[in-house]
Amino acid sequence: MKLDWFVRGSLAVLIVLLGIIAFRPVAQPPSVLAQNGQAYPFHIQPGTVSLRKADGNTTWGIIAVDMSTGNVWGFPVKSQNTPYPVYGPGDSSKVSHPMYLGRMAFDEAVHQ
């Protein structure tokens, strides 16, 4: 008789503890670290600007600054009014490849 109450009590405690373990993620879900700052630390300048290509021609594009290195990149787009690559029916690729524009010396900007 004493063993029966001990087994039932142990099972009840086990069920309660397993329930706590099972429902804890529902009550306190773990935070999702989608923006951990390691993937692409870019600052994208809003709007489009005129970019000068290496051959001397100009095109419209978007400026992106790599905040970890200070490198400045220009991503060409075909139109001033659209901030994404738009190409004609004959163009097969809709990927804007970056052009290196220069470097910002963030390491020299130190407050003394």
CB contact at 8 A, 65 and 72: yes
Residue 5 belongs to domain spanning: 1-30
2 and 47 belong to one structural domain: no
What whole-number distance in Å separates Cα of residue 20 and Cα of residue 3?
26
55 and 89 belong to one structural domain: yes
21 and 61 belong to one structural domain: no
Q: What is the pLDDT of residues 24-44, one digit of tens each?
A: 888 888 877 666 556 678 888
Looking at the structure of the chain, the number of domains it has is: 2
3 and 52 belong to one structural domain: no
- 97 phi, psi to nearest 5 deg: -85, 140
Q: Is pLDDT of 68 > 90?
A: no
CB contact at 8 A, 63 and 49: yes
Is residue 80 in some structural domain? yes
What whole-number distance in Å separates Cα of residue 91 and Cα of residue 54?
21
Is residue 84 in some structural domain? yes
The helices-and-strands tally (H runs, E runs) of the chain is: 1, 5
9 and 48 belong to one structural domain: no
pLDDT at 110: 76
26 and 69 belong to one structural domain: no
Q: Is pLDDT of 17 > 90?
A: yes
60 and 14 belong to one structural domain: no
